Amino acid sequence: MNKEFLPNAPLKEVLFEIHWDLEYISEEKILFDKGFEKAVLNFTNACQQDFKEVAILKPENIPPIAFINRVTHRFFKTKGEHPLYQLGPGVFTVNDNNKNYVWKDFIAMVDNGINCLRSSYEKELVPSKIQLRYIDGVSPYILGNDNKFEFLKEHLQINAETYPFVKGALNDIQFTKSFSIDDERTLNLIVSTGVDRDTKTDVVEWHTFISNKKRLSWEEMIEWAHKSHEICSSTFKNMVSNELYEYFSQ
């Protein structure tokens, strides 16, 4: 279980997300991201890679202040495809998917994106919330199981509990667990079952993400990301069965 890239990986998306401190208008009791409009215009010029294709996600007549900590713009190499950068008032994300993902390439894109972001603003951004997230999903029937909850138990070490006070049969689950890893990180795990919106078939999905416990400087961020990636990778390898890992390795 030491491969850098799994040919048949369950990865749907990986993202690195950054939030920063915002200004506060006490009279109106609202937060705003000073200089955001100009930063959006500057971003494609500041970015040294070719993320020049822009998609605007908000209605033109609604001001950015209504979208605090929500993505409003996407920047693509090829419009509508991964990889991409996303920017909104107080938030920036770096996104990729299984088609392209290799950690060393992804972290290089994160590093480049941080430089683009910081140079797009005239003010000095002060990071607050940081997150590295992996979203994985598979059909629960790929290894011959005829029950999705059996798949969860056998191959992901997840027990789907029923309750004695409910008489109906269990259809789906969704739960979140949070674990304190060290002084700098919290690991969060979200596991759910449901129906894939494209194929209309059963799917098991799990999110593994690391959040920061304390503030990070820009200089600390890449090292923090490397360590967080190691934790997510180790968690994934320890979570899946040997049989399932071999399936992903084919």
Question: Domain map of the chain by residue range?
Answer: 8-125, 133-250
* pLDDT at residue 35, rounded to an integer: 96
Please state whether the predicted TM-score (pTM) of the whole model is above 0.95.
no
Average pLDDT (117-139) is 97
Judged by DSSP in three states, 156 sits in helix
d(CA 97, CA 23): 33
pLDDT tens-digit map of 81-102 = 999 999 999 999 999 998 889 9
d(CA 84, CA 86): 7
Q: Kindly report the CA angle at 119 between 184 and 230, in degrees rounded to 5?
A: 30
Amino acid letter at 15? Answer: L
pLDDT-derived band of residue 217, with 50, 70 and 90 as boundaries? very high
Query: Above 70 in pLDDT, residue 4?
Result: no
Average pLDDT (189-195) is 96
Question: % helix / strand / coil in the chain, to the nearest 5?
Answer: 30, 30, 40
pLDDT tens-digit map of 38-57 = 999 999 888 866 898 999 99
Average pLDDT (237-246) is 97
Percent of the chain with pLDDT over 90: 83
